Amino acid sequence: MDSEELLGLLEIIGFFVVWFGVGFGLSFPFTALVKKHPKLYTPLNLLITLYPYGYMLTILAVFLIDEDAGILPFIVFLILHPIIWASLIMDFRVRKSVNCKTVSTLSMVNKLVHIPAYIFHFVMGLFGSLLSVWGIGFVLFAIIIDLITIAISGTFSLIATVSLYKQKKITLPVAIAASIASYIYCIDLVAVIVVKIMVSNAEKTTQTSIDTQL
């Protein structure tokens, strides 16, 4: 590796360090806001829910409004990810204080809302495969966005699962199985629904116990 290649590699590493640093820095005000105003927990996680659609809208804007705006998806890429990383770090920091019903519901909603995006990306990849060499870009884009999407939603579900286990709403075996399933297509959806049902049943049992004591 010559000096120019080394310099280029260092520039790329530096870019990602700064990029991740911005997300880490944003996580502090996010955490402070949620601790002071718990109702902001869901809105601050909204970008995780809507993540893949940000790309779909920018791509449509490029093709339908201005084909010269090809840099638009890249700008969205730069802006969205630090905010999403900040949200995930915030989720980890407040995991012990957030209502279990809110956590399990949002985890399930994330997975459900992402289904149309996965279908869209599958169609995009299929369309790209029909274009021979020229469609490789479509295929790669669809695969990358799908992988990033399930990584983000899976990480949120993992944090949610840990939180629910700490709050004794699910057992350790369920927590381990649900955590692994969070990163597996289709199975992740089954896992969050099962966890949601278990949390709802645990809440009902707790409420019944309280009512009986009264």
pLDDT in tens, 72-90: 666 777 778 888 888 999 9
Number of domains in the chain: 2
The residue that leads in pLDDT, 165 or 134, is: 165
Domain that holds residue 19: 1-94
Burial zone of 33 (CB within 10 Å; 0-12 exposed, 13-18 middle, 19+ buried)? middle
Which of 113, 93, 112, 91 shows the shortest CA–CA distance to 102? 91
- For residues 120 and 189, state if they share a domain: yes
Which of 153, 73, 150 shows the shortest CA–CA distance to 109? 153
pLDDT 10s digits, 80-119: 888 888 899 998 888 878 888 888 999 999 999 999 988 8
Q: Are 135 and 27 in contact (CB under 8 A)?
A: no
- For residues 87 and 102, state if they share a domain: no
- For residues 103 and 202, state if they share a domain: yes
- For residues 88 and 148, state if they share a domain: no
- For residues 135 and 76, state if they share a domain: no
Q: What is the mean pLDDT of residues 188-205?
A: 90
HSE-CB of 77 using CA atoms within 13 angstroms: 11
Q: What is the mean pLDDT of residues 61-75?
A: 64
- For residues 117 and 64, state if they share a domain: no
The dihedral built from the CA positions of residue 149, 151, 152 and 157, taken in this order, carries a sign that is: positive
- For residues 13 and 118, state if they share a domain: no
Residue 192, both tokens:
């969050």
pTM, rounded to two decimals = 0.84
E-strand spans in the chain? none
**pLDDT of 214 higher than 60:** no
pLDDT attached to residue 64: 64
Residue 170, both tokens:
């699910």
- For residues 15 and 85, state if they share a domain: yes
- For residues 206 and 102, state if they share a domain: yes
